[in-house]
Structure 1
Amino acid sequence: MPPRKACGDYTFRMPISARTASSSLRILFKGIVGAVLAIVLLAGCVTNEEQGNPEGWQEIVPAENPELAALVPEDIAAKGYLSMGTNPPFAPFEFKNSQGDIIGLEIDLARALAGVLGLELRTVEQDFAMILPAVSAGTLDFGGSGFTDTEERRKNYDFVNTLNAGVRWAQRADREDTIDPDHACGLTVAVQRTTVSETDDVRPKSEECVAAGKPAIEVLSYDTSDTAATALVLGRADAFSADSPVLSWAVERSDGRMVEVGEMFQAAPYGFAVPKDSELGDALAAAMEQLIADGTYEELLAQWNITEGLLDHAQINGQPLVEG
């Protein structure tokens, strides 16, 4: 078997004959197939699914703490597991390895929290926009999919915070000029649909452009973050906006095709979403406090190369359970 090429070794060029109006259907078909293959290969470069967990990764599942397990709502304790809705790929928070298993930072953290509470973790893959409604409906115990803990979302949900992060932009490395996220009127920006990058970053900026008499930002909304990143790599977008850990992960695995631009902004807490005033939120926060206190939390995040934005104490909706 020939050695696997690095991402940068793949180059797709449409045959000249396929660009002419007189091209045969067969040549045109080859061109289309080639383009599709290029997209698949580049998408693999961005998400790097075949790599799976980071080098040196170890599963960490703490022993049950009976005192904290007693805080779990009776219906959840009776079934013996927590169901978490998630929407891969959103690496490093959650994505699939080559075997199709959902892995990632939030999976590891949720599994550790469940272990402290004497429960198993079961992940349920869903569309991102349907996770919170499913939590409200009671078909999921909680949601974990890179949720930013916003004031708007707090009206209907509580968030057991996991870390602090923000929004960041990237552009193609071969672009001659450097994009300024604060002056992006007239550009095309790729985002994952319904994420904060779309609702709180790019679309409001576009509205400001129009209000100032400048060209709007064209927003390309995709179902997944890796598809949005691939749109940038393929030249369909001028920039890519995403949560800072997600964007950094994509840039690192883009084989030098993307670079980060500007500073991180709109820093905010991220968290697991539970129903408003849920007892489960208190139980998860208590388990989080234990993980932070004994160093497990820091160890879990370090495995995913996240060393900034860590919490000193467990929080719900940005408010620490323990002062100091």
Structure 2
Amino acid sequence: MPTPRSRHRRTTLLAALALVPLAAALTACGDDAEPAAAVAGSAPGGIGIGALSNGAAKPATLKVSAVAALRAQLPEEIRDKGELVIGVGVLPAGSPPLNFIGSDQKTVTGSESDLGRLVAATLGLKPVIQKSTWENMFLGVDSGKVDVAFSNVTDTEERKRKYEFASYRQDNLAFETNKSDDWTFTGDYKVLAGRTIAVSSGTNQERILLKWQKQLKEEGKKLTVKHYPDLNSTYLALGAKKIDAYLGPNPAIAYHTRTTEGTPRATRSAGTHSGAGSGLQGLIAATAKKDSGLAKPLAGAINHLIDGGQYAKWLAAWNLSDEAVERSEINPPGLPLSDS
């Protein structure tokens, strides 16, 4: 049994691991890992939130200490490594306010990567941000090069075949249209008949949209689904009226409509929909490889941040308070297989 002195040394060491500045925490990890960089707003004893966001967030510094009991729940390999490799789908152009390249043109910022850093600190680990396309992020988790993805991943029953989850935010989708368009989505997919909608490949929203496309086809109606390589291409198509709307994450669309307000490219939200479809509130979750043993400590860390108030401050900094959850859950009910 450890002595009081040894327990104190262990607690002090764990806290020190969590409280290093992000300049030291963001160590390299492969060709696509974020380079070591000082993050504005960070300070000894705190994690910078919304730093380098170029106005997308209100920067804040949140105090976070390592929790020995949660660190003890980590798989031994990760505990010994002392790092949490966090996958984010940020290439090629990112998706503000979720994950994007900061104003220094190299450091990943965004609500998702910031939460990953807070969770890593709570677990007494150094966060290492691994950049990739959204699709390749899952390959990183599959291969073990990435420990956990914080990248707006929806909890679905299909994904549970390969991954385990710790929820942290409500998942809502939105239709973004030109400001001049006057149609509205109120939950009935039939309003999409005759329209052309863009969506990102491999996403949960694509699955939902393709289901509606199939249903409309069975009713003798047409819904055209378009894919573009990045958001810039999508918005060029929207501005040129080549598409009627873009279906994407509500936070990203809320951000974009704010930034285009009062410009010739102004857009609006034409309505929202749960990421889990009708009848179930979708949830965004930290995503690790199934049976990795990470879901429990991840959920514990998120709940610790909820209890300590850092979670609410994180959401407020990114204007996402309306998507808060009361608790992080391990593998909560997700989008049903029939909708996946």
Whether these two folds match at TM > 0.5 is yes
Partner of 2:101 in structure 1? Answer: 96
Distance 1:157 1:179 in 2: 35
How far does residue 179 in structure 1 lie from its aligned partner after superposition?
A: 4.5
Identity %: 25
Q: Cα distance, 1:55 vs. partner? A: 5.1
> In the alignment, which residue of structure 2 is the partner of 1:191?
199
Aligned length: 268
Cα separation, partners in 2 of 1:53 and 1:285, compared to 1, 3 Å: farther
Write the distance in 2 (CA, Å) between the matches of 1:174 and 1:78: 56
Matches within 5 A, 1:1-324: 52=54, 54=56, 56-60=58-62, 62-88=64-90, 89-100=94-105, 101-175=107-181, 177-180=182-185, 182=189, 183-200=191-208, 202-215=209-222, 217-256=223-262, 257-265=266-274, 266=277, 267-318=281-332
Q: Is the Cα contact below 8 Å between 1:59 and 1:108 reproduced in 2?
A: no
Comparing 110-119 with 247-256, greater Cα deviation is found at 247-256
**Displacement over 3 Å in runs of 4+:** 53-56, 223-227
* Between 78-87 and 181-190, the greater mean CA deviation after superposition: 181-190
Q: Give the TM-score, by structure 1 length.
A: 0.77
- Consecutive unaligned residues in structure 1, runs of 5 or more: 1-49, 320-324
**Is this contact kept in 1: 2:168–2:285, CA < 8 A?**
yes
Partner of 2:13 in structure 1? none
TM-score, L = length of structure 2: 0.73
Distance 1:226 1:144, change over 3 A: farther
Q: How far apart are residue 264 of structure 1 and its match?
A: 3.0
Q: Which residue of 1 aligns with 2:42?
A: none
Aligned residue for 2:324, secondary structure, equals coil
2:155 counterpart letter in structure 1: D
Which structure's CA Rg is the greater one? Answer: 1
Measured on the aligned residues, the alpha-carbon RMSD in Å equals 2.1
Aligned mates of 1:203, 1:280 — CA distance in 2 = 32
Query: Aligned partner of 2:289: which letter?
Result: P
Q: Secondary structure at the match of 1:270?
A: strand
Aligned to 1:33: none
Q: For 2:86 and 2:75, how far apart are their aligned partners in 1? A: 15
Work out the CA distance in 2 between the residues paired with 1:57 and 1:122: 21
State the SS of the aligned residue for 1:262.
Answer: strand
